[in-house]
Amino acid sequence: MNARLPVACNRDCGGGCPLLATLEGGRVVRIGNNPAGGPFLRGCPRGFQAARQLYAEDRLTRPLARSGPRGSGRFREVTWAEAVRRVADGLQAVRDKHGDGAILALGGSASCRGALHDTGALNARFLNLVGGHVGESNSYSSAAARYVQPVMLGRDKPGVDPATLRHSELIVLWGANMMDCIMGCEWRARLRQAKKRGVPVIVIDPRRTETAKQLGTQWLPVRPGTDSALMLAVLHVLIDEGLTDEPFIAAHATGFEALRRRVMGRAAGPSTTPAWAEQVCGTPAADIVALARELGRRKPAALLPGLSIQRTCGGEDAVRLAIALQVATGNLGRLGGSSGAQNWGGLPDPDVGCLQVPQNPASSEIPANDWADAVLRGSAGGYPEIHAALNVGGNYVCQGADVAKSVRAMQSLEFSVCHDLFLTATARQCDVVLPATHWLERNDIVFTLANYVLFSHKVAEPPGEARSDYDILADVAELMGCGDAFTEGKDEDAWLREFVADSEIPDDEEFRRTGIHSGADQQRVGLAAFAADPAAHPLSTPSGKVEVSGAACVDAGLAAVPEARVLPPTAQRPLQLVTPKARLRIHSQLGALPWFRERDERALWIHPRDAAARGLDDGSPVEVSSAQGRVLCPCRVTEDVLPGVVALTAGVEPELDEAGRDVAGAANVLTSDRPTLPSRGATMSCVAVEVAPAGH
């Protein structure tokens, strides 16, 4: 078969890219941008090279049952009938022994944006129909933001569409690395457009990233975990120089006066001057003043924070202060401005149906960051008792904080199952491993992070006996007595046609032909009605306004006034490690494939000053040590990272030597699952480490 069909990555990069697959002789030979997406919706190498994963030689093609110790990688091939029976019997045995709520649902990252093939929704739907499960109350990605934003802004969606940047006179990317961590495929082109027309694009990051080099006009360095201090200093300049929008503050916020007193030193704590902040965050005071003046004078200004700033100790305060800055400057809810809140999921998707998850009979949840601790400690740690895990499309041993602890947790379970394309670090710890299909081997509707939705065609047959997660769980559900409830008598095509029939999409066949349906308004601004008339359109907060500080924040377990909670380096571990996303990996996905591996930098970034103090040259092998573990890798000596800061990209699968050291460059061997409070979010974006020549 020769054809060109629309497809879309159903992955956890947030790209939402409309792509086009070219088939020759029934084989995918090329993937490129879908012309129907227009000039701004553009893909990246991870999607363009997806066929390399599709046709990888080490794809799982038959079900596996463990035949050696967990983690040994020793399995034997079994039939699907045996595999499904093993899964049903294993889960039922745990339920019979420990109750309905003893099974932990893991995964979701492999395919998390599909209307039908959403690994998180499929897993939860199945487990809830067979008695319930322990779920995750938040995510590794955005726990602090998801906790804080409803407290400050209520239930209203606070995002903006990328096209609104055409109205911006200033753009601040605060920890938002949109070249590597895409979070919407339109942003890069819109930022290039803004830069071309002369709009300042300021990139605030501990590293001079490709975003800073290609999309930004200025790189403003900041030490990891100190964004709150920098924000407080910017507020100090705005207040001190009369650059705040006082009428907007009075009409739209409550609690700003308490923040003002704190910033100006009229309450507990020092005045948060630029000179004070320079000592904390390493950003020159003069640059802080210049940033504040730009924010105060250029209107409208869009402040777009990345998820990284809230994955640190005190991440909740960074979220609060980013929103406070946009309130102070009158940019919240304004066309060309932003709310300062996270844009991830910040606006509604087009009205299209998706697979529904029934209520969880067990009603048990744990923070995602706590999963390993919950498995190991159970009720002694205040968690549910967990004895089994069904992991559908997740690699928690690699992607979770503290690899050693994650391994201990997986090995302590009575029974565990993994669906995946490859024998990952997590799959190696499981009792049954089931071969799943690739997104190019399924039809689906794919949601994005903007006002359009995509249709992705099946363009390849699964290898061997690989099956979709939907079909796998349907068979297990049948054995456990709820097959009809799980499928409702529908196959893939019937579900997808039903989703479209009850949607805003006017023509299903045209949607499948073009691969894209765009919402009518591509310049939406979250909270615009509230910004225009707060009395007529109050927020769903206690005051009806933005809760900058005060009782609502205290009731949620937050400090009354946002502060800078910073963990300083120690004499033993004086360097701060950041673990950013890699350009050519989606978490751990793609990293083992030769084409990606050859182009994937796995060296530790270190500043020349820190390298010289440790006798390191560019390319030197180093040992990176933290309280959790040790990693061996080469180093890259570069001025693209702040002194005192080192960087190692996340997503590499661990490989341990006889001494227990990782030799692959797995960043999460070094990270801790100590949470930021009160959200219990991850803190993997700032880790205290030391670096030494390998072998010393």
Strand order in the sheet with 64-66: 75-77, 64-66, 432-435, 415-420, 388-392, 103-107, 134-136, 364-366
The identity of residue 189, as a single letter, is: A
Structure tokens at 684: 């993997």
| Spatial CA neighbour of 84 closest among 479, 465, 428 | 479
Structure tokens at 36: 């129907």
* H or E, element range at 281: helix 274-281
Q: Give the model's pLDDT for residue 406.
A: 97
First to last CA, the chain: 59
Cα distances (angstroms) measured from residue 429 to each of 94, 101, 244, 389, 432: 18, 22, 55, 11, 9
To which residue do tokens 């753009």 refer?
171
3-state secondary structure 301-348: EEEEECHHHHCCCCHHHHHHHHHHHHHHCCCCCCCCCCCCCCCCCCCC
355 within 8 A of 119, measured Cβ to Cβ: no
Answer yes or no: CATH 2.40.40.20 is held by domain 575-693. Answer: yes
Give the Cα separation of 95 and 130 in Å (integer). Answer: 9
Q: Give the model's pLDDT for residue 284.
A: 98
Q: Give yes or no on whether 3-54 and 64-133+364-449+461-509 have one common fold.
A: no
pLDDT per position as a tens digit, 216-229 = 999 999 999 999 99
Position 459 pLDDT exceeds 90: yes
Structure tokens at 370: 């706590």
* CATH number listed for the domain at residues 64-133+364-449+461-509: 3.40.50.740
Give the Cα separation of 413 and 90 in Å (integer). Answer: 11
Q: Considering the chain, what percentage of its residues have pLDDT values greater than 90? A: 91
Q: Give the model's pLDDT for residue 107.
A: 86
Residue 354: count of CB within 10 angstroms of its CB: 17
Q: Give the model's pLDDT for residue 186.
A: 95
Cis check: omega of the bond before 45, within 30 degrees of 0: no
To which residue do tokens 């998801």 refer?
146
Tell me the DSSP string of 603-657: PEEE-HHHHHHTT--TT-EEEEE-SS-EEEEEEEE-TTB-TTEEE--S-PPP-B-
Q: Give the model's pLDDT for residue 413.
A: 98
Give the Cα separation of 455 and 583 in Å (integer). Answer: 25
The values of phi and psi at residue 504, to 5°, are: -85, -5
Residue 465: count of CB within 10 angstroms of its CB: 15
CA count, 13 A, side-chain hemisphere, 403: 27
Structure tokens at 452: 């359009």
Write down the number of H helices and E strands in the chain.
24, 26
Position 504 pLDDT exceeds 80: yes
Q: What is the rounded average pLDDT for all residues in the chain?
A: 96
Give the Cα separation of 464 and 32 in Å (integer). Answer: 27
Position 47 pLDDT exceeds 90: yes
Based on the number of CB atoms within 10 Å of its own CB, is 428 exposed (0-12), middle (13-18) or buried (19 or more)? buried
Q: Give the model's pLDDT for residue 292.
A: 98
Q: What is the mean pLDDT of residues 513-540?
A: 97
Which one has a higher pLDDT value, 20 or 1? 20
Q: Give the model's pLDDT for residue 269.
A: 86
Where residue 696 falls among pLDDT bands split at 50, 70, 90?
low
CA count, 13 A, side-chain hemisphere, 411: 12
Three-state DSSP state, 203: strand
Q: Give the model's pLDDT for residue 112.
A: 86
Q: Give the model's pLDDT for residue 111.
A: 85
Give the Cα separation of 9 and 18 in Å (integer). Answer: 8
Q: Spell out the residues 6+ positions from residue 241 whose beta carbon is closer than 8 angstroms to its own.
A: 292, 293, 296
Q: Give the model's pLDDT for residue 157.
A: 94
Which one has a higher pLDDT value, 585 or 618? 618
Cα distances (angstroms) measured from residue 275 to each of 107, 241, 292, 309, 563: 45, 16, 14, 21, 17
Position 475 pLDDT exceeds 70: yes
Cis check: omega of the bond before 358, within 30 degrees of 0: no
Give the Cα separation of 195 and 583 in Å (integer). Answer: 22
Q: Give the model's pLDDT for residue 392.
A: 97
Q: Spell out the residues 6+ positions from residue 509 whose beta carbon is closer than 8 angstroms to its own.
A: none
Q: Give the model's pLDDT for residue 100.
A: 85
Q: What is the mean pLDDT of residues 426-451?
A: 96
Q: Give the model's pLDDT for residue 160.
A: 97
Name the CATH topology of 3-54. N-terminal domain of TfIIb (2.20.25)
Going from N- to C-terminal start, the domains of the chain cover: 3-54, 64-133+364-449+461-509, 154-346+524-555, 575-693
Q: What are the b/e assignments for 155-177, b being 16+ CB within 10 Å?
A: ebbbbbbbbbbebbbbbbbbbbb
Q: What is the mean pLDDT of residues 574-603?
A: 91
Cα distances (angstroms) measured from residue 260 to each of 237, 325, 374: 11, 12, 40
| Spatial CA neighbour of 15 closest among 596, 439, 593, 497 | 439
Give the Cα separation of 235 and 518 in Å (integer). Answer: 38
Show the beta-strand stretches assigned E in 457-513.
none
The values of phi and psi at residue 392, to 5°, are: -110, 100
Give the Cα separation of 607 and 433 in Å (integer). Answer: 43
Tell me the CATH architecture of domain 154-346+524-555. Answer: 3-Layer(aba) Sandwich (3.40)
Q: Where are the alpha helices (DSSP H) in 45-168?
A: 45-48, 50-54, 80-98, 119-129, 143-153
